[in-house]
Structure 1
Amino acid sequence: MRVRRVILRHFRGVAAGTVRLDGNTLLVGSNSVGKSTVCEALDLVLGPERMFRRPVIDEYDFYAARYQAADGVTPEVRVEVVLTDLEPEAQRRFRSRLRRWSAQQNDFIAPKTSQETATDGEEGEWCLPVVFVGRFNQDEDDFEGATFFAHPEPIPDDLTEETVELGGGLKPFTREDKRLCGFLYLRPNRTGSRALSFQRGSLLDTIVRLESESAGQLWEKALRGLSEVVIAGDESGFMKIRSEVRTRVEKFLSLTEDPGAVDVRVSELTREHVRDTLRLFLATQPGAHGVPFNRLSTGSLNLLVFALLTYIAELKGDQSVIFAMEEPEIALPPHAQRRLVDFVVSRMGQVIITSHSPYVIEKFDPDQVVVLARDNDGALTSTPVVLPADFKLKKYRDNRRQFAEAVLARAVLVVEGATEVAAFQAVADVLDRDPAVVDYLHPDLAGISLFDANNDVSVPLFAPVFAAMGKRVFGFHDKPDKPLSPALEPKIEQFTRYQQISYKGIETLLVTEMPVEVQKQFAATVAGRPDYPTISPMPPAATDDQVRAHVRKLLEERKGSNGGYAALLISECGTASDLPASLADFLRAIDADLRPAAPVAANPVRNPGS
């Protein structure tokens, strides 16, 4: 099975929203936009153990915490999920609950009338619509929630009494029904202690349940084994305590003649108590002493989670799991992040991941990335990343790491090369540390990603790509060798702000717009560097033009970001007034563009004296 669509109503920070998925999906967006909310919503509908949590939902699971009835209407949390790619077993089990689904329209196909034939439209595939409904029960003074089949809906008639029961007469979607969906939800490993415990719904609990299907009742065997553990035996110091307790208790309470009438056990010997107390012990290198898993480092916990996921995948069988995972990058090094994503994508039926890591994001092609956005009224929207028809996938893959960072950004500044990237970063640092510059936000804090287009002609190509992701896009490059093609004009129009400078290169811009004294200081500073190029030294009494020519030669010999001299030159600036105006002004203009517009007074107050 695969999740194809999720509709949320009145759930957490979402008043209303629809998220469309197509196979393996990476959910991206700014913090608090709703990525975790979507995963939690899926868990409400599909998680086999989720309904056992008490309460199922609480006040803050309702949008704006509004759960009390108002004007005769009781607010309801509602999450609707459509499942497609149903296996034969699921089609047999749920056959009366299925509907036809159109992959082209991303919606249900209306039932055909008696006059229509199978060739009159798209036949579609069978899908299973299910729904979670939650509300506050005023009479019980408690929250209630349950999952139901969303089809067919009860059709009331004149003889049908209006129902007030939860779900409005829909048939429950039971725990056993959910298990057939194979849904697993791994929250961020700040809550990994529960994921690796034996509590209901944990990874270990899932393994125990799956193994029990072939090996018998593992919990019953464990309870019998624990009941045979002797703590207060004849050679134990607890024996005297047990005897003394029995002697005193029997003065007030009749006990059986059994020698074990008073005993010490390792547990209450109930399934739930054993779930709470059972711990997985591990001994990791260096050292050989085993400790409970929750005493391991966060990184070790994440790798342990990874190991258990491989176990679950083998038990459930390939391609049979819907797996939702939040932020797998927490405490994992880049190579482990990549390995984890590679594994779950290759072994799970569907993977739904949220992430802020470029190492995770770069593992997904653009058609697998869904950008979430939410406005101040709680409207959640999802936008798939769609490359323009004339934009080659190879260009995306060649710039995969840069795209991964840009996907996470609020806005993107596209420049023509690595030297420009380094130069803009250096200019931003000087603006940030100059106390005379007020009301300016560094690009890192503003969420601006700098993107290297590799050449000036390619800069406009990326405008429609990032604009389609809902990003504000800015473009900056020098004067090309020949005028840009007219075909690029529509792409240039998609920039929020775009500037083509009159200089033939960034090096010319820097030596023209920066003070000569700063350039002299730079030339003296870099002269002792081990990567100093083999060029003629600057004359001791160099004129301004000679200084500029010498510095331009240095910049041209040492271009790029790694080892590039442009950023070193700019870092010599003491204040913003020393900066090249073209770069500094463009950054400040971007900063102004990204700031929210000041509210306009509806009826401005006029000065009586004017």
Structure 2
Amino acid sequence: MQVRRVVLENFRGVKSGTILLDGHSLLVGSNSVGKSTVCEGLELVLGPERMFRRPVVDEYDFYGGCYQEREGKLPEVRIEVVLTNLSDAAERRFGSHLRRWSAQTSDFLDMVPAAIEDAETGEWCLPVVFLGRYDPQEDDFIGGTFFAHPESVPDGLDGEESGLGAGLKSFTREDKRHCGFLYLRPNRTGNRALTFQRGSLLDTIVRLEAELAGPLWEKALRDLEQVAVAAAESGFGKIRTEIRDRVDRFVSLGDTADPVDLQASELTREHLREVLRLFIATQPGPHAVPFNRLSTGSLNLLVFALLTYIAELKGDKSVIFAMEEPEIALPPHAQRRLIDFVVKRMGQVIVTSHSPYVIEKFEPSRIVVINRDSKGTLSSNRVVLPGDFKLKRYRDNRRQFAEAVLGRAVLVVEGAAEAALFPAVSDVLEADPSVAGYVPLDLAGVTIFDAQNDVSVPLFAPVFKGLGKPVYGIHDQPDKPLDPKVAAKTADFTHYTVLNYKSVEKLLVAEVPVDAQRRFLATAAQRTDYPSGCARPDPSATDTAVNTLTHEVLRARKGDGYAALLIAECTGRSQLPAVLADLLLQIDRDLGTSASGGETDDTAHSDETDGN
């Protein structure tokens, strides 16, 4: 069973939006764009224990915080999820609630034109929905999950036509368990996930083991009842005896051997869930401590270990697993190992991440870019490589692609020298007081992508434009005119620049003032990697000799950061090559005032605030 479509209405920062998934999916996007909102919406619909939290929703779960009656109608949170890839058992259990799904239109088959319906039989899907609203009579919030199909017409008795989910049948906790949904927030990893509270990882393990071995809580309570906390020889034994003798003066005690006793727990399931703790001993010491005393990284790895346990208990391909930011406190190799495991063993994995080490583990077709506009409309774009774009090119640049996916904009350059050069130009612009309000590339969220040669720069324009990102390209004059098909791709750049020079080194020598070049040569000569084949700088050298030596040094150490060293000697915008400075200022203008990192959305809508 897999989540195929999520439709959100009036939920948190999302007024309306649709997310389409297809198997394992990685959700990426800027902070507070709605990734957590999507995952939280899935838990509201599919989480077996989610409805036990009170209140189910609150004021800030409604778009704009508006939940009071307006124009005679109460605002309602609505989250609909369509599940496909149903097992035979699921089709039998939910048969009366199934609809046919069209893979061509990503909608129900009975909603598409007859021509498509005749040509496509579609697969069975299960639509389910969460509804939430404010109840003014109870002055509280209510919510419930329902089968979204079929929807009967209420008969109007007892106000049924206005009740929550009127005309729909409840989607129960037992129904949800057949979906096998698990959800891990990053702030739950070291707190709730490793307790025995309802819906936690350990609670899931206990329930699955109980299905195989019989009731576990009852046996644990009986065993705990036999624990002698106040044995006769203990100090507590004397206290118990003294309490019994004094209480017996005023209260008629039972006719048992121990009418007054001390127990480690209230001996109820709920209390045992609260007090039971997992103890772990890790290297280098042998002493076991409660799990919450472990390091954050150890906690995350412990979660990973429990996931392997659940996967084995549930069986392959039977878990829908949503996980937020697995990179928190995990080293890169652990991030990759975790993703490899869940992708291979879970039926569907839905991951949010800002880590290139996580992103690079997903093929482009599995990456879903989330966007949200100022009006609260949520949308998604799947990474689709152009038909003539070789998959090998993507795989050879997988790490760079991962970083570009995270950026707000992409600057495609032709080589390592340029990739190091532009951050240096940006630093000079930032330090120049005459360039008021300029936001440097890193703070603006601009990713620099090394295409490795000038001819390849245009090839990446349609790729990044397809992600909905502004994309900029710059390269020197090619040795021969670009192929017409390649040249056509430059139209996808937001801004495209071809230098009037055959190399960036010639540009720098021609347009950086000679006094900056002299300072550069003096600094470079002190480095251990100064090219041995180049002469040492002479303070009395002519300007022409300085230009020649600068070019020789830059060429000899091309790609080693020497071009950036030269730019670092510039004292302001006036000493920078105009074409480079103008391009970065153009990017700054295009990204606007939000480039400083501030989100324009109301913080009350933030998907990071989940109300927990």
Would you call these one fold, judging by a TM-score over 0.5?
yes
Structure 1 Cα separation of the partners of residues 71 and 51 of structure 2: 29
- CA contact 1:28–1:355 (8 Å) conserved in 2: yes
Whether 2:252 is the aligned partner of 1:254: answer: yes
TM-score, structure 2 normalization: 0.94
Aligned to 1:357: 355
TM-score, structure 1 normalization: 0.94
- Cα drift, residue 112 of structure 1: 11
Aligned to 1:435: 433
Aligned to 1:545: 544
Structure 1 Cα separation of the partners of residues 519 and 356 of structure 2: 38
Matches within 5 A, 1:48-87: 48-87=48-87
Cα deviation per residue 1:502-557 (whole Å; 9 max; x = unaligned)? Answer: 01001001111111111112112222322121224156332211111111111111
Structure 2 Cα separation of the partners of residues 246 and 337 of structure 1: 57
- Cα drift, residue 119 of structure 1: 8.5
- Cα drift, residue 578 of structure 1: 2.5
Structure 2 Cα separation of the partners of residues 490 and 324 of structure 1: 40
Aligned to 1:608: none
Structure 2 Cα separation of the partners of residues 118 and 498 of structure 1: 42
In structure 2, the residue corresponding to 1:412 is in which secondary structure? strand
Aligned to 2:604: none
Structure 2 Cα separation of the partners of residues 119 and 177 of structure 1: 30
Aligned to 2:476: 478
- Cα drift, residue 118 of structure 1: 11
Aligned to 2:568: 571
- Cα drift, residue 189 of structure 1: 4.2
In structure 1, the residue corresponding to 2:246 is in which secondary structure? helix
Structure 1 Cα separation of the partners of residues 115 and 61 of structure 2: 45
Cα deviation per residue 1:106-132 (whole Å; 9 max; x = unaligned)? Answer: 01011899xx99993310000000001
Structure 1 Cα separation of the partners of residues 156 and 115 of structure 2: 33
In structure 1, the residue corresponding to 2:305 is in which secondary structure? helix
- CA contact 1:518–1:572 (8 Å) conserved in 2: yes
Cα deviation per residue 1:373-410 (whole Å; 9 max; x = unaligned)? Answer: 11111111111111111111111111111110110110
Query: Which residue, 181, 190, 193 being the options, matches 1:192?
Result: 190
RMSD: 1.9
Whether 2:540 is the aligned partner of 1:513: answer: no
- CA contact 2:80–2:130 (8 Å) conserved in 1: yes
Structure 2 Cα separation of the partners of residues 119 and 271 of structure 1: 52
Cα deviation per residue 1:49-108 (whole Å; 9 max; x = unaligned)? Answer: 111111111111111111111221011111100000000100111111110001111010
Structure 2 Cα separation of the partners of residues 236 and 157 of structure 1: 69
Aligned to 2:609: none
- Cα drift, residue 250 of structure 1: 2.3
- Cα drift, residue 592 of structure 1: 1.3
Aligned to 2:421: 423
Aligned to 1:502: 500
Aligned to 1:588: 585
In structure 1, the residue corresponding to 2:327 is in which secondary structure? coil
Matches within 5 A, 1:238-387: 238-387=236-385
Cα deviation per residue 1:280-303 (whole Å; 9 max; x = unaligned)? Answer: 111111111111000001000010
Question: CA 1:152/1:422 → structure 2, altered by over 3 Å: closer, same or farther?
Answer: same
Which structure 1 residue ranges, 5 or more long, are not aligned? 598-610
- CA contact 2:189–2:303 (8 Å) conserved in 1: no
- CA contact 2:101–2:108 (8 Å) conserved in 1: yes
Structure 2 Cα separation of the partners of residues 139 and 569 of structure 1: 72
Aligned to 2:459: 461
Structure 1 Cα separation of the partners of residues 280 and 228 of structure 2: 25
Aligned to 1:559: 558
Structure 1 Cα separation of the partners of residues 156 and 347 of structure 2: 45
- Cα drift, residue 558 of structure 1: 0.6
Aligned to 1:604: none
- CA contact 1:153–1:170 (8 Å) conserved in 2: yes
Cα deviation per residue 1:444-488 (whole Å; 9 max; x = unaligned)? Answer: 111100011111111111111111101011111111111222323
In structure 1, the residue corresponding to 2:110 is in which secondary structure? coil
- CA contact 2:78–2:129 (8 Å) conserved in 1: yes
- Cα drift, residue 2 of structure 1: 0.4
Structure 2 Cα separation of the partners of residues 231 and 160 of structure 1: 56
Query: Which residue, 148, 169, 172 being the options, matches 1:171?
Result: 169
Structure 1 Cα separation of the partners of residues 188 and 569 of structure 2: 43
In structure 1, the residue corresponding to 2:101 is in which secondary structure? strand
- Cα drift, residue 236 of structure 1: 1.1
Aligned to 2:41: 41
Question: CA 1:117/1:77 → structure 2, altered by over 3 Å: closer, same or farther?
Answer: closer
- CA contact 2:522–2:537 (8 Å) conserved in 1: no
- CA contact 2:534–2:553 (8 Å) conserved in 1: no
- CA contact 2:525–2:536 (8 Å) conserved in 1: no
Cα deviation per residue 1:349-387 (whole Å; 9 max; x = unaligned)? Answer: 000000000000011111111111111111111111111
Aligned-residue sequence identity (percent) comes to: 67
- CA contact 2:521–2:537 (8 Å) conserved in 1: no
Between 428-437 and 176-185, the greater mean CA deviation after superposition: 428-437
Question: CA 1:112/1:492 → structure 2, altered by over 3 Å: closer, same or farther?
Answer: closer
Question: CA 1:171/1:310 → structure 2, altered by over 3 Å: closer, same or farther?
Answer: same
- CA contact 1:29–1:373 (8 Å) conserved in 2: yes
The count of aligned residue pairs is 593
- Cα drift, residue 161 of structure 1: 7.1
Structure 2 Cα separation of the partners of residues 496 and 276 of structure 1: 56
Whether 2:94 is the aligned partner of 1:134: answer: no
Matches within 5 A, 1:70-149: 70-110=70-110, 120-149=118-147
Cα deviation per residue 1:250-284 (whole Å; 9 max; x = unaligned)? Answer: 23222112132111110011101111111111111
Structure 1 Cα separation of the partners of residues 438 and 380 of structure 2: 31
Aligned to 2:610: none
Question: CA 1:111/1:136 → structure 2, altered by over 3 Å: closer, same or farther?
Answer: closer
- CA contact 1:189–1:298 (8 Å) conserved in 2: no
Question: CA 1:207/1:158 → structure 2, altered by over 3 Å: closer, same or farther?
Answer: closer
Choose between structure 1 and 2 for higher RCO, CA contacts under 8 A separated by at least 6 residues.
2
Structure 2 Cα separation of the partners of residues 122 and 161 of structure 1: 41
- CA contact 1:98–1:129 (8 Å) conserved in 2: yes
- Cα drift, residue 140 of structure 1: 1.4
In structure 2, the residue corresponding to 1:81 is in which secondary structure? strand
Structure 2 Cα separation of the partners of residues 237 and 435 of structure 1: 75
Structure 2 Cα separation of the partners of residues 38 and 111 of structure 1: 24
Query: Which residue, 215, 228, 231 being the options, matches 1:230?
Result: 228
